[in-house]
Each structure stands twice: as structure tokens, then as C-alpha cells.
Amino acid sequence: MKRIQCHEPCTCLERAFAVCPEWAGLEAAELERLVQSVSCIRYDLGEVIYHEGAECQGVYFVIKGLIGVRKADPGGDDTLLWLAGSGDTLAYRALLAGERHRDSAEVLKPVTVCHIPSPVMMRMIRSNARLGVGFLQRAARELGRTEERLHETITLTARCRLAHLLLLFSGDLDLEEGDPSPVIELPISRSHLASLLGVRRESLSRLIRGLEEDGIAQFNGRHVRLLHARALLDEYRLESGASM
């Protein structure tokens, strides 16, 4: 963890905020003021940005890097709840709910974040209705996604969830039109992937082998060739009824 300078006449922060829907509600003047009361921090791989159970000190706007949001389970293990990257704002939940952190944030790829202290954040939210509405929308969307995921883990098999996750990682890649067997790169290790899916590492291995044996995908370290994108889509759609 290292505080870095990014205040002065550099406009990178301003630009970063400007493209994020929840922050877009800020006027130029407010934005400039915000940038003054903010600190940019670098964290190295493995460092923890905040800990489960700790008081919330403010929110973190992610400039770049990859962060795993995890939650300890009783067994001493922990579950990866989700990944955060550029443009995401972390810890707003605890701040707005007025609660302690319910999860911790660990760096998976070296990260630069912009830390906004709680009082600054709360003052802005209260005074600028547009910012408030922005975060309201963000929270509502995330709530929807989380419910969807809860529903998915209850109703779908692990294999199907893996298929879905691969589709998510393939992002805006056009599976119907573009390269018929594109290669995507997994941003995380097998163990993390398993944790994200809510299965054991061993089970994930077997699921992967299953997909390979069915000629749906080829795994090679973190590189995955989607051999039969169509089939992958079906894998998810058939069980989930989604139309994607």
C-alpha cells in the first residue's frame, strides 16, 4: 500500500469519474473539489483494502487493477463473492447502510484506487441529489444482480453456472457472429474461480473436464477456447430459461 500523488494538474481522475454512471451527476466544480479531498493509493497483490467486520472508512473508486470481494466462512475458508475492476466503487454498501463491512476486499491484480473518506462522501450524497440518485440506481442494479445470482445458485447446477460465468467473462465478444471459437483469458486462478462459483476446487476441475470432453471448450491455464459457443449458450439457456 502506497499513497501516490495524483492531485495536481492531472485530469486522469476527473476523466475516470466522468465515465461512471453513478458519478456522472457531479458538476465540474464539485468534481474539482472532490479531487482535492481524495487520496490515490496503490495496493500490491495480496494486500487487503478493507477487512470484514471493520468500520467503514469511506469508499474506494477503482482506477485500475482487480479486486476480489470475499467473505469468510466458518470453516476458515472464504468465499469469493465477486470481482471489482476499473470504474467500480467499493464499500459504498457499508457506508450507506451505516454498517460495518460485511466482506473484505483483497487485491488480485495490483490496484490503484481513489479513496473518498466517509464524511466527504456522505456530505456529497446529501447535498447533490443527482449523485444520490446515481448511487440509488447503482445499488438497485446490484441488488437485482445479487438476487439473480441467489436464484441461480439455488436452481442451477454448478456446470450451468460455470457456463454462465464463462459467458460473462467473454463479455461483449459477439458469440453469434464473430470468431466461431474465440479465446478468452480468465482473470483469476482456478481456486478463485471455484470459490466464485461456490464449489470446491476439485469439483471445478471435474466440471472443466466435462466441458472439454463434450467438446464445448478447451482450457489451457488461464486461456479458454470456446469451441462451441453455441453449445455453451445453450448449456446456460436451457436450464435457466434466459434469453440473453
Alpha helices by DSSP H, listed for 8-117, are 12-18, 28-36, 92-97
Q: How far is the CB of 163 from DNA (least distance, A)?
A: 11
User: Sign of torsion, CA 2 38 72 190?
Assistant: negative
Q: Does 206 bind DNA (CB under 7 A)?
A: yes
Which residue, 33 or 237, has its beta carbon nearer to DNA? Answer: 237
Q: Does 47 bind a copy of itself (CB under 8 A)?
A: no
DSSP-based three-state secondary structure for 2: strand
Q: Considering the rule CB under 8 A, would residue 93 count as an interface residue with a copy of itself?
A: yes
Contact 6, 12 (CB under 8 A): yes
Q: CB under 7 A: which stretch of 30-38, 47-55, 137-145, 203-211 binds DNA? A: 203-211
* 81 touches DNA by CB under 7 A: no
How far, CA to CA in Å, does 213 sit from each of 76, 181, 189? 34, 16, 21
Compute the least distance from the CB of residue 53 to DNA, in Å.
24
Judged by CB under 8 A, does residue 127 bind a copy of itself? yes
Residue 97: C-alpha distances to residues 56, 100, 122, 174, 231 (Å): 10, 9, 11, 38, 42
Distance CA 144, CA 152 (A): 12
Pick the piece of the chain touching a copy of itself (CB under 8 A) from 39-47, 126-134, 183-191, 212-220: 126-134
Of 10-18, 86-94, 127-135, 192-200: span binding DNA (CB under 7 A):
192-200
How many residues are recorded in the chain? Answer: 244
**Residue numbers at the binding site for DNA (CB under 7 A):** 75, 157-159, 189-191, 198-209, 219
**Residue numbers at the binding site for a copy of itself (CB under 8 A):** 71-75, 79, 81, 92-99, 102-103, 125-127, 129, 132-133, 135-137, 139-144, 146-151, 153-155, 198, 238-241
